[in-house]
Amino acid sequence: MSAPGWCDQLDLLIRSRTPILWIRSLEEERVEALLQQAAVRLGNRTLLRWDFIDGLQGAPNRQGEAARNPMAALACLDALPPDQGAILLLRDFHRYCEDAGICRRLRNLAGQLRQAPRTLVITAPEWQLPQELDDSVTVLELPLPDAAEIGRLLGSIAAACGQPLASGVLTQLSSACHGLSEQRVRQLAARALARRGRLSEEDLAEVLEEKRQAIAKSELLEYCPSEATPADIGGLKALKHWLEQRRMAFSDEAQRYGLPLPRGVLLVGPQGTGKSLTAKAIAHSWGMPLLRLDVGRLFAGLVGASEARTREMIQRAEAMAPCVLWIDEIDKGFGGDSRSDGGTSQRVLGTVLTWMAEKTSAVFVVATANAVERLPGELLRKGRFDEIFLLDLPSPEERRAILDLQLRRRRPDHRIPLEVLVDRTAGFSGAELEQTVIEAMHLAFAEGREFTEADLVAAATQVVPLSRTAREQLEHLQEWARGGRARPASRLRGMTNSDAA
């Protein structure tokens, strides 16, 4: 929701005499500023503030009243004239609502406030709302500031320092700061002013570092820097071509053409076929930050906490847009029996799928899965992902490309013939081919010499590929893809007799 739209919603809730508002946010100062603006817009209502330490603020001759007394804080509105409109902002008040007396007082107060132009506002990032207050409390989520809000903030800071920003620089900085809280933007600006006395394009690197810190503190997402490129992936020509087309769809020209923003891609295949490397290469080649989600981090012990963590993850991912959200091994996170966890995993999955189907932000989702039989049917339905790709075991041509890539990474001028090695590595995954090269180097290094073709062939005989140890699972995956459920990342092929040997 845009800032004007959020403010309109806030005004409507206050004007309609919603008794208790819970504004879900960590940004207390920003919440107070927005409530102050709303109080002015709605006929100069009185804005009072209370917290446990400083007590009541904003009322003449009553400063500090009700300090360390949450129950008395709820009586702060009683001393106002009957016709005086007011807003009472309660900080951290959710911590005291487990008390039966305070909960009862809130329920009584809700009925009274519906008859008067007064509103209680509780600000907290999370709150396990008591069931008794369900009908009395309305939740309003405060999104992080959008580019326009950040632009106004940075512009005012620069102007106050006598160093106005050029429109192009302001736009660039505002876009880079998207995803940060207002307080973090202020801190960035303060550091820039302390260092150089002005805001400039030189601050972009620090903005990126601030975003990394914000993601690291969330504990839900991992910021994954990557230097991988599509050139580091052997084969997968069809997938690479498709990704290049989707990269173009993020451009302004594509938006003017009428193309929607790409949603994402599901990569299925056995281990070691390059799914994770592909996710990293997409982010690097598209110039977007890569955020990795371990689905297990979404699940918490408290009732309702998993859903709250999922909403937080979505908010942080959208705030970082444009970005790539890598959901690693999604089959392990959502492939179990939801009855064993009281339906929590099903509710979390539903939240994620609804967001994926309805999102309008530039968050490209890359989900990877090894065991397709564990994937829930809802995940494979059209509209969740733009496409589903099967990353199969590499063909002989792809094995040659992968081996040459691995050798040139370690010996740029190698002249090792690969015909015999390609033949001896039928059924090997990309990871197993890399391990073959590393094993050959170990063999030669132990004897104090350069490795040769013979070392590579010897190393290949010591590797037991997954195509042998998990033959049934692999054949099931290939059969599933042949039914038209997934596109081949290179070309769909079954294992030949020589591959299976």
Burial 334-349 (b: 16+ CB within 10 A, else e): bbeeeeeeeebbbbbb
Claim: this prediction has a pTM higher than 0.85: no
**One-letter amino acid identity for 209?**
E
pLDDT of amino acid 493: 42
The CATH 1.10.8.60 portion of the chain extends over 396-468
Q: Which CATH class is domain 230-390?
A: alpha beta
Q: 396-468 adopts what CATH topology? A: Helicase, Ruva Protein; domain 3 (1.10.8)
Helix ranges, 164-304 (H): 167-177, 182-196, 204-218, 237-248, 252-257, 275-286
Gap between the Cα atoms of 41 and 38, Å rounded = 5
> At which residue do the structure tokens 């509103």 appear?
119
Please state, in angstroms and rounded to a whole number, the distance separating the CA atoms of residues 7 and 140: 11
| CA dist., res. 245 & res. 377, Å (int) | 27
Which residues neighbour 176 within 8 Å (Cβ) at sequence distance 6 or greater? 204, 207, 208
- Residues near 108 by beta carbon (within 8 Å), at least 6 away in sequence: none
Domain(s) labelled CATH 3.40.50.300 in the chain stretch across: 3-141, 230-390
| Per-residue model confidence (pLDDT) at position 478 | 86
Do the Cβ atoms of 261 and 252 come closer than 8 Å? Answer: no
Contact 452, 416 (CB under 8 A): yes
Instruction: With a cut of 50, list the residues of the chain below it in pLDDT.
Output: 492-501
Edge to edge, what strands does the sheet with 290-294 contain? Answer: 221-223, 290-294, 323-328, 363-369, 264-268, 387-390, 487-488
| Predicted local confidence at residue 498, as pLDDT | 39
Beta strand 86-91 with 290-294 is: unpaired
- Nearest residue to 234 (alpha-carbon basis) of 434, 70, 47, 501: 434
How far apart are alpha carbons 296 and 381 in whole angstroms?
23
pLDDT for the residue 342: 66
| Dist. CA 112–CA 475, nearest whole Å | 67
- Residue indicated by tokens 């709302």: 129
Whether the upstream peptide bond of residue 143 has omega within 30° of 0, thus cis, is no
**Structure confidence at residue 228 (pLDDT):** 86
Provide the residue type at 241 as one letter. H
CA 224 vs CA 279, 283, 293, 370, 483: distances in Å: 10, 9, 10, 21, 35
Q: How far is CA 467 from CA 114, 209, 310, 330, 430, in A?
A: 68, 42, 36, 22, 12
pLDDT of residue 117: 94
Fold classification of 3-141 (topology level): Rossmann fold (3.40.50)
DSSP state for residue 74 in the 8-state scheme: T
